[in-house]
Amino acid sequence: MKSLTIATVNVNGIRAAAKVRHEDNQGILPWLKATPADVVLMQEVRADEKQTRAALEPVLDQWHLAQAPAAAKGRAGVAILSRLPLRDVQIGFGDGPGSEEFSDSGRYIEATVDAGDLPVRVASLYLPSGSAGTEKQDEKYRFLDSFGEYLQSRADRAEQGGLPELVVGGDWNICHRREDLKNWKTNRKKSGFLPDERAFMDSLLGTFPDEATQVADAEDAGRNGNPAGVAGDFFGAVDYKPGDLAAARLAAGAAEEPHYFDVMRRVLPDQAGPYSWWTYRGQAFDTDAGWRIDLQVATRGMLDRALTANNVWVDKAAAYDQRWSDHSPVLVEYAC
């Protein structure tokens, strides 16, 4: 194997995604047969493992499956499909501060694949979508605190003990930069583009390709100011109170030397989008009024391999009625 190709996609319910809608939309199964991906990271599976295996039965002879369903039936759920054997499967992100709340929420699964002589940890993430002014936004802020601590801790341990490289693919439910959201001006008070969400991405990924953060800068605020305030206001929260983890993240600001990298943005630094999610409402898909919320975030070694391969793309359906999810798969080739 000279390369490892990883896809990430929110399937919006695996049983629905596997259904045949009409002659020109046979669902996810033909896509799984044809995709060049060696690994497919799936989110919002909304099924237990038995139900997932039943939905994918016609193609499972080609794939190994590992899954983390949510304790709440019909909610969330993440899974990994791999043409290569999966080992050392981990559900949830450790036992750090706040992680217990999300241990059985079906939001994170991680495993190792061996691409030739290269062991790679691959993870599927379904970050809470949030909703400003509701308890869902509080949940999202708590998740960011806990998950951010896990990623930082893992980076520290990797430097000390040589852990395998990591690719976290998933529905991150945050547009980091204005270039990630077609209609960013009208979404500044919407979950997915709030100042503290974007500041979290700054803390993880830095501000590339900009020299400074876009969060609450002059263009962000416009002539009337930023309607959602600035990082540290935690706009949209109901009862959430930032603790030590959030305070430390805000004090540190954007990462100057990040441990993690938004792979597609690094390969395509100046391109608007490419978007991966479009609402089913209106003409969003046809006019490409999308959001780039499905990301592959990787450690330095995997970024270098992606830059060498120089092959990233969104596998967008040819037409609105050929979609089997409201998200499109995001694929990255990594040289081995």
Residue 273 sits in a domain whose CATH number is: 3.60.10.10
Task: Read off the pTM.
Answer: 0.97
Catalytic residue among 38, 108, 126, 220: 126
Contacts of 162 (CB under 8 A, 6+ apart): none
Q: Domain span at residue 320?
A: 3-335
Residue entry with tokens 């080609």: 62
Q: Distance of alpha carbon 103 from its chain centroid, rounded? A: 18
320 is known as an active-site residue: no
Tell me the CB-side half-sphere exposure of residue 93, using CA atoms within 13 A: 30
Q: What is the pLDDT of residue 222?
A: 85
Residue 89: predicted pLDDT: 98
User: How are beta strands 39-43 and 3-10 bridged, if at all?
Assistant: parallel
pLDDT in tens, 301-325: 999 999 999 999 999 999 999 999 9
What distance lies between CA 282 and its chain's CA centroid? 25
Choose, from 145, 176, 259, 327, the residue flagged as catalytic.
327
Contact, 4 vs 39, CB < 8 A? yes
Q: Are 68 and 91 in contact (CB under 8 A)?
A: yes
Q: Which residues are annotated as part of the binding site for Mg(2+)?
A: 10, 44, 171, 173, 326-327
Q: Which residues pair with 314 in a beta bridge?
A: 330
Burial 283-310 (b: 16+ CB within 10 A, else e): ebbeeeebbbbbbbbbbeebbbbbeebe
Ranges under pLDDT 50 in the chain = none
- Give me the pLDDT at residue 158, please: 80
Number of domains in the chain: 1
- Sheet bearing 312-314, strands edge to edge: 64-68, 78-82, 39-43, 3-10, 330-335, 312-314
Binding site, residues?
10, 44, 171, 173, 326-327
Please tell me the predicted confidence (pLDDT) of residue 1: 64
Annotated active-site residue 171? The verdict is yes
Catalytic residue flag (residue 327): yes
Widest Cα–Cα separation across the chain: 58
